[in-house]
Structure 1
Amino acid sequence: MEEKQTIEELQKKLELVVLNEDARRTIITHHLKSPLNIINVNVERMLYDLKENERKMQKLREAHPHNEEIQKATTELAFQIRRYTTLIQTGVQLGSDIIEGIASESASKEELQKGWQKTKPIKRTGKIIEAHNHLIISRNLGLSFQYNKNDSEKEVSMNQYAFAATLSNTLSNAVKYAIDGSVIKLVSHFDSSKERYVFEIENMVNRPINVKDVLRKIRDGYTAEEIEDRAFFESNQGIGLESVINILGKLGGEYELSSGDSFRLREEDSKGMKRKTYGIITPEQHVPPLPSFYFKASIPIKE
């Protein structure tokens, strides 16, 4: 009798620990989002003021069409305005995506599978890529985004926050570990038969990745030796990929990852798709052919 009571007490304590952990993550997420929301509001106000100033500069240029100094100064100022506001907005967007990832990963399966919103996944994908564009450029990388033209305006119901966190974390992982000067490939399409939105990302790496080892680390964690020698900072997997897999599991989504000596996303397989490019893509790739790391995610949707 006493043994049964002890087990019940331990179970209640464990449940309380889990509840406290969930509550703690919720509070942390809220506290992290609050300053970002304030920054975002201030950025929007700043953008409004800057656009007003840009209109004034345009009038100044029109009033003095032959004054080269005014033309040059106002043009440079307008460029700087656009550049830095884009960087600020990008930082806010990336921060929001990371926080949404924390929130989604800590949410229950039931929470993630309800409260879906109407979303245009292709357009949302484009915005997430744009938020990463300065990081792509800073690493001397290019990105090729391909999708079916007819899907660009397609609207479906999905958990858009979990989707954004999943794609953003996967893309961040690719940008972080891709070989300098290489091109990241991203292909998106709908799988209506399974009610899924699919994105595939592939990037070039120095050497093939041990996928079994990656999944072992995600499932069981790192060994004390691996943490001590900090090997997990040097491999093509990070906390982002672990978060993605955890979110997909709760969403009822699917994933696939592989690594080999050749790219899986081949040009001949995406013929007829619309292409958008980002970052730095040179006419001829001078990067020698290297192994790739491939990740595919299938996100549940309702049409």
Structure 2
Amino acid sequence: MNADRPGEFDLIREFFAPLAKDPGSLGLTDDAAVLTPRAGSDLVLTKDMLAADVHFFSEDPPEAIAAKALRVNLSDLAAKGAKPRGYLMGLALPSDWSPDWLERFCSGLADDQKAYDFILLGGDTIRSSGGLLVSISALGEVPSGKAVRRTGAHPGDLLFVTGTIGDAAAGLQVRLDPAFGQERLLSAADSQYLCDRYLLPRPRTALAPVLLEYANAAMDVSDGLIADCGHLGRASNVDIVLDLDKVPVSRAIERIKANSQDDFLRCVDGGDDYEILACVSEENAGQFLNQAAAANCPVTLIGRAGPGTGIVTVTKKGSPLHLDEPGGFRHF
């Protein structure tokens, strides 16, 4: 063992106990947390695992790795309309970890805990035989029986998406191959913007109460816009028509689109956006847009649900596009 590094229990006491301020965490002094849901609330639970060189690069700043691990889970909670409550963290550290790295990682956790009112409740830290692995189990609360599911969309619902789509997938391509941006005439600022969007998702937590009020179905966009439209459609037994011309994109993605339609489609369906898809009745669409704007969350109408079984039709200038192969991110 490296004499300069704390042992397991000292590590917990020094680095993680200061992050565990909820009484239910018991100060990380026991084998489990004890949490009581607030009166009239249901707990919403979600888990995402992030692995080095799969979801982030090993050399990424530890603060950013910590933030991404929390934010992908916060995005899931937001899509359910849930208010964040706390999280459990599993951390597998590679053999070359250092106290400085861990201090910076915990600083990233602390900053996002403050930003999103989110508290460490417990977890486990182990030695990894491979690369870094971060596993977060997040807990949120919604009024009893009100969680927004994937399964509630109705024929005739309008389909909205938050933010801009495709930035993260393009950012990953820039990280993997710097020539990607140069060949598509991206500026240095555009490339940096895309890389930041890949590394640091922007969970739409401010939209959660608006989704509770108006959304019939919702989910976050993690596997790719077209793929996730299919996930939502199959869960709700509706078909979806997605108007590609209406999909909101950044200036950088507009430049990629002007250069290559194929690249544009790969970015749009590349995943890691962590924006929110929401199905809202036509009757409630105006109020939904107004309340989303009041929450400072941009939303765009991109399609409509119809009777069916989960088929997604992508249109451009009113005509269906033929997509050669299924898109979206897949681990296997």
Normalised by the length of structure 2, the TM-score is 0.23
* Structure with greater strand share of residues: 2
Tell which structure's C-alpha radius of gyration is larger: 1
* Structure with greater helix share of residues: 1
Normalised by the length of structure 1, the TM-score is 0.25
